[in-house]
Amino acid sequence: MNIQAKTDYSTLFSSLSGNQTSTFSLADYASIKNGSYFKVMKAYYGKDAQGVSVADQTSSGKGAGKDTAATNANVESKASALSKAADTLLKTGSDSLFTKKDIVTKDADGNETTAYDYDRDAIYKAVDTFAGSYNNMIDAAIKSKNADVISKATDMVTQSLRSEKLLNNVGITIGEDNKLSVDEKKLKSADIATLKSLFNGVGSYAYGVQSKASYMNMYAKEDANKASGVYSSAAQYQANLDTGNILNSFI
């Protein structure tokens, strides 16, 4: 299935991380077949029952209360889980997974050996949890009709595609459905500096994904509040950003 359109979609990706500008051609879109990326793009540029483009609906306008309570709750849940998974990887200092420490291992006879090294088992488990949460977030976003949620999900998928080479270097592949798969053996033997650049610190891949997850959480809460008519004293719908490293990340 090819995606054909005359619309310039480049502005949709203008908020990606890093200093690089985002320019995607229609050939890029056409190469992504039958997957989550196509679904979120179709939802974003589709029209509602009144013929209004979802892309033209904002969180303060016609898109208010578009999703059911169950859909909003699902987006919130999956976004919170993804943000939490990213937090585990983003920790710094002595709590960082990317800091060497005494690692105790046992051989087949039960003899213990201590080595000062990175806990690669812990790193793998954290990355695998992150990937699983990321995939669940895609599934939740696909079911949403909230333009803001869909936009951030599209940004998240695009960020992964832009980081695909580095991800592949540490054993993470992006499938045709745009979901992440982790090769345990390759990730455990991957270069720590590359893993750290992807998953630790401000501006990293995980940092950007967490930011988008936090925004999706906020948009789902805002949509739920609009649907229920919950207003704040300042005549604004109440919504809170999910906790995480987000304040400096407008990507």
Inform me whether the pLDDT recorded for 7 exceeds 90.
no
132: tokens are: 């699983």
Residue 57 in this model has a pLDDT that exceeds 80: no
Of 213, 71, 185, whose CA–CA distance to 120 is shortest? 185
Q: What is the pLDDT of residue 63?
A: 45
Residue 19: pLDDT band (50, 70, 90) is very low
DSSP secondary-structure letter at 236? S
Question: In the chain, at which residue ranges do the beta strands (DSSP E only) sit?
Answer: 101-106, 112-117, 172-174, 180-182
Question: pLDDT per residue over 198-219, tens digit each?
Answer: 999 999 999 999 999 999 999 9
- List 209's β-bridge partners, or say none: none
Q: 237: burial class by Cβ within 10 Å (0-12, 13-18, 19+)?
A: buried
Write down the domain spans for the chain.
10-228
Q: What is the pLDDT of residue 33?
A: 45
What integer is the mean pLDDT of 83-103?
94
3-state secondary structure of 193: helix
In this prediction, residues 128-135 reach a mean pLDDT of 98
pTM for the structure as a whole: 0.70
Higher pLDDT, 207 or 59: 207
